[in-house]
Structure 1
């Protein structure tokens, strides 16, 4: 009887162990990893890989709007504040950075302040701003690049290309089509809106308001999504 009881107990333990292993395997198979912040991220802040982590959630609560690849988040801007371990959804990210950041506003640079604008500039591009002075040497005004919110003609139309397909090249990350479209622009840039901090705008206004100094706005680089696509393809 003792041997029978011991055998039954061992059999029960074996069955339970097998059930426990299978249960863990099933639970692991029914979970999926999503991208979440590992800390608080303010609205308007550009997201880096150091701010992100993986989190496993049950497949039953996963949705198509959640993000499963870290490359889809890095370099984008948070539209709203993101809490730690909160699922990042696509609508919470700003891909093109045309909106001003948390400490920024969109300013239209007065025409009287401008000496020249590169005609290759398009909305979403990064530009460098130089100051050209009558009495002093020319210099780069800000060391960091400035994001262009929009560029318009004298009739207040966005400078773009006639072909509708080329207008969406930025969305598809098509660098070759964007290059071609810059050669076929449909108007001269008369007005430019850029995203600046208050300190940057006050510096421009202080330097240019007396008419002795003017700005030279030079095209610097492609929008971040297109640059990211080019690096991924290379």
Structure 2
């Protein structure tokens, strides 16, 4: 009996010793993993552009430290409630420039104004939501001139059927955000529909200035796409 008991105790001691060694190994492995990886915020599934992220859309994931960049989010609170500027893939680390809060809404000092059609002489067909545009004033018997010193953000551009104009297969905002000039050019070229309605984010003085010039019908706006739009996007990403 004593021999069996001693054998059982020895076996139990060996088993406990093995479990202790295994536990220490797993603890060391976890510490090494944490030292060599970084926990970042990812999307659980594909998220289309323009969607507001919720807690159900995002999660944490550890990635190799060498694959981490400072643009990657490391706190869920940084992502929840933000709008996606471009589509995000499943399990994709979220970069700060790919999301924004109320991306196309006006700033605190601005409102979104739909410009009356009879105020407009021409609109560049290449203009898309999110672009920065330059406004010119064209009069019948006087030289044309720039009416506002600063660029203006386009909130939306729509066709006569009230549909946002863009190339759905290759959205302009995606190419613009990624800084891909070739794809952006192709997206604007291939988009269907004539611009019938345009909404601009303006301050009150800017709108009153436009309205005072155009309401009598003697002056009209020429709305032109500005190449500074892409330059500003590149500066924001940097």
Determine if the alignment matches structure 1 residue 174 to structure 2 residue 180: yes
Determine if the alignment matches structure 1 residue 185 to structure 2 residue 188: no
| 2:119 aligned residue | 113
Distance in 2 (CA, whole Å) between partners of 1:210 and 1:229 is 40
1:180 is paired with a residue whose SS is helix
Shift in CA distance, 230/103, structure 1 to aligned 2, threshold 3 Å: closer
Distance in 2 (CA, whole Å) between partners of 1:69 and 1:101 is 29
| 1:132 aligned residue | 138
Alignment of 1:1-234 (within 5 A): 89-91=78-80, 94=100, 97-161=103-167, 163-166=168-171, 168-221=174-227, 223=229, 227-228=233-234
Distance in 2 (CA, whole Å) between partners of 1:222 and 1:98 is 17
Larger Rg: 2
Distance in 2 (CA, whole Å) between partners of 1:72 and 1:196 is 32
Q: Is the 8 A contact 1:175 1:230 kept in 2?
A: no
Q: Is the 8 A contact 2:177 2:233 kept in 1?
A: no
Q: TM-score, normalised by structure 2?
A: 0.56
Shift in CA distance, 104/230, structure 1 to aligned 2, threshold 3 Å: closer
Q: TM-score, normalised by structure 1?
A: 0.57
Shift in CA distance, 183/165, structure 1 to aligned 2, threshold 3 Å: closer
The CA RMSD measured in Å over matched residues stands at 3.8
